[in-house]
Amino acid sequence: MDDKSIKEALNKLKKDSPKRNFKQTIDIVFNLKDIDMKKQNIDFFIHLHKSKGKKTRVCALVAPELTEQSEKVCDTTIPDREFEKYQQNPRLIKKLADEHDFFIAQSTIMPKIATAFGRVLGPRGKMPNPKAGCIVPPNANLKQLYENLQKTLRIYSKNDPVIHTIVGKEDTEENIIIDNLKTIYDAIIPHLPNGKHNIRSIYIKYTMGKSIKIM
């Protein structure tokens, strides 16, 4: 996949898409082939070099050691003294899951977090994940983690042979979209049993609009 093919697809995307009264995201869609999705687990995190153009909302589940720092850095902070309230009302946890992209957790209270939030966040794939750096010690630098998560994507495919993720927004600079797209492509290839030979096609699209084929 080369820069020329991506630029041509982006130009066609902009030309063929009607104007909306909001800034749409630009998504990349990988259609896979010759993979038994029941046996092949595709679920990992990647860190982009550039911004993905969309704010990542982060909720922190913390004890006193990190509460003050978290309230300054994260979008939402739930101190452990409030866990019981959420455990008794799963609807509150569902609302948190809907409103946040990542949850970070203080490692020393993980059992309490699992007990209070696990039954709701687990099935939604929102439990704090160490692979994304989201389980932290009591002396963690949350500002650095928060900034890293703004460029972090979760790449996954469950039962369907399709991977769908954001690469930017329609006002994102072209060179940033190209870099993000190539970074995602390079990260996906090693997770496929036969590498690029498992990719049937790649499309790019706006939130609302038709898909444009890259390859």
pLDDT of amino acid 40: 83
pLDDT of amino acid 193: 93
SS3 percent helix, strand, coil of the chain, rounded to 5, is 40, 25, 35
Task: Report the C-alpha gap between 143 and 70 in whole angstroms.
Answer: 8
Considering 110, 133, 149, which residue would you say is the last residue of a domain?
Answer: 149
- Residue 202 dihedral angles phi and psi, to the nearest 5°: -130, 130
User: What percent of the chain clears pLDDT 90, i.e. is strictly above it?
Assistant: 81
Same domain, 64 and 145: yes
Q: Kindly report, residue by residue over 105-145, the tens digit of the pLDDT.
A: 999 999 999 999 999 999 999 999 999 999 999 999 999 99
Is residue 134 within 8 Å of residue 104, measured between CB atoms? yes
Q: pLDDT at residue 159 above 90?
A: no
Q: pLDDT at residue 91 above 90?
A: yes
Tally of domains in the chain: 2
Task: Report the C-alpha gap between 189 and 156 in whole angstroms.
Answer: 13
Same domain, 144 and 62: yes
pLDDT of amino acid 2: 84
Q: Kindly report, residue by residue over 143-155, the tens digit of the pLDDT.
A: 999 999 999 999 9
Considering 131, 149, 167, which residue would you say is the last residue of a domain?
Answer: 149
Same domain, 87 and 135: yes
pLDDT of amino acid 128: 97
Average of pLDDT values for 57-79? Answer: 98
Task: Report the C-alpha gap between 72 and 130 in whole angstroms.
Answer: 22
HSE value, Cβ hemisphere, 13 Å, CA-based, for 104: 34
pLDDT bin (cut points 50, 70, 90) of residue 190 is very high
> Structural domain of residue 48, as residue ranges?
3-53+152-213
Considering 102, 131, 149, which residue would you say is the last residue of a domain?
Answer: 149
Sign of dihedral through CA atoms 170, 176, 179, 184? negative
pLDDT of amino acid 111: 97
pLDDT bin (cut points 50, 70, 90) of residue 15 is confident
202 secondary structure, DSSP code: E
Same domain, 47 and 112: no
Average pLDDT along the chain = 94
Lowest mean pLDDT among 43-52, 63-72, 109-118: 43-52
Same domain, 135 and 203: no
Token couple for 127: 């439990």
Average of pLDDT values for 37-58? Answer: 90
Token couple for 187: 């990260």
pLDDT bin (cut points 50, 70, 90) of residue 20 is confident
Same domain, 11 and 82: no
Task: Report the C-alpha gap between 37 and 65 in whole angstroms.
Answer: 42
Same domain, 158 and 206: yes
pLDDT of amino acid 188: 96
Task: Report the C-alpha gap between 1 and 27 in whole angstroms.
Answer: 16
